[in-house]
Amino acid sequence: MEIKPKVVERLVRYAAIDTQSKEEELRIPSTEKQFTLARLLLEELRALGITDARLDPEHGYVYATVPATLPPDEAAGVPAVGFIAHLDTSPSVSGTGVRPVVHENYAGGDLVLPGDPAQVIRENDVLQSQIGADIVTSDGTTLLGADDKAGIAAIMTAVEYWMAHPGARRGTIRVAFTPDEEVGNGTAFFDVQGFGADFAYTVDGGEIGEISDETFHAQTAVVTFAGRNTHPGYAKGILVNSLYAAGHFLSLFPEGMKPETTEGREGYLHPHDLGGNEESARLKVLLRDFEAEGMAAKGALLGEMAAETERRFPGVTVGVEITDSYRNMKEVLGRHPRVVAMAEEAMRQAGVTPFRHAVRGGTDGARLSFMGLPTPNLFAGMQNPHSKLEWVSSRAMEQAVATIVNLARLWAENGNAPGPDRV
């Protein structure tokens, strides 16, 4: 079975389906159109011979099992491995009318996108490393949606490979496709127990060889400023304007703790939403750090800023309420080192040099890990996601497929080894 034409054809076909999710929708999935791709994948899984493929009719999750080829007594001794990708594309850039373009046998240089010649993917080291591969882009008027349809294409191509090779030794493989990852709700109704995997891998990373076993800790603070309003014509000695207090509070954010001044393993405080009037104002602040101690320090700093603002503006009351969003999945994955180590070996056997990448954000895998399903994130190869300049190479997707197939084989061969980190 030739991997390249299969995985490229799948990406092109899936990318043409509009599956954009929508911010601030209460329902899941946030857009009905995500069901279009979900139903297509259900049909394709069944056509490949997957007998238990099912669709959650309310929330759009697709689940399937690739059966083990090991004898039953052996299969019972190795873990069931899951592979997960998401259906939706980012709300940031239009996903309507996506027209994928395959730039065959890339020879180097810039790529001018035909639908809008002003959209140019400039040659860079990553693009240059893919000379000889096919490069898939949009036509420049929309995003491509390789985030995460490249991951879906890689998993589906691996499923086709497994079903075409019944003699290849493997344990039980679980597959899932989820809605609304881009708006933070991809795991809200994920059926961990019904999925039935001992651990899983999301296939939703960028650069070839990337494996993410660490994310930020994340919290959101809501800072409220309560003043006192009256008619401005008769306000002397009475009016206490909450907006001045909010402005002062904003001026206290340390320069070295802003998203625009931090990188790598540095955390940040990010005020991102402000509204109100003289009587009351409300500010939302994102807190991010890789370490729990760093999170605690940032929360304490907001409290100090609130107290200083109250001293500066007598009569204003400042409240700070902090809630958790997600936690660093390293807390879970650190207890299961073989899950990551096996992925690294699978990449090496696919001709890929693995590297660990700490995500300056969150992943579905972070939430799933704390739901009882340890889930690091593997590369799918996409570059410039959430933009009209998004692209992915056929070589990256081929190597993602090879990594997935290798993982199934390696766990079948080594999954029953004893050890304290046995999943």
CATH number for the domain that contains residue 222: 3.30.70.360
102 and 128, same domain (yes or no): yes
259 and 303, same domain (yes or no): yes
Asked whether residue 421 is assigned to any structural domain, the reply reads no
CA–CA gap between residue 176 and residue 317 (Å, rounded)? 48
pLDDT, residue 423, reads 43
pLDDT digits (tens, 9 = 90+) for 115-172: 999 999 999 999 999 999 999 999 999 999 999 999 999 999 999 999 999 988 999 9
pLDDT, residue 417, reads 59
Active-site residue set: 88, 181
Structure tokens at 406: 């290798």
pLDDT, residue 362, reads 82
286 and 239, same domain (yes or no): yes
CATH number for the domain that contains residue 333: 3.40.630.10
52 and 168, same domain (yes or no): yes
Buried b (16+ CB within 10 A) or exposed e, 270-304: bbeebebebbbbbbebbbbbbeeebbeebbebbee
34 and 133, same domain (yes or no): yes
319 and 358, same domain (yes or no): no
Asked whether residue 419 is assigned to any structural domain, the reply reads no
Q: What total of structural domains would you count in the chain?
A: 2
Domain that holds residue 315: 217-326
386 and 336, same domain (yes or no): yes
pLDDT, residue 361, reads 86
Q: Which residues of the chain have pLDDT under 70?
A: 417-423
pLDDT, residue 258, reads 96
88 and 185, same domain (yes or no): yes
pLDDT digits (tens, 9 = 90+) for 331-354: 999 999 999 999 999 999 999 999
The DSSP bridge partners found for residue 226 are 280, 317
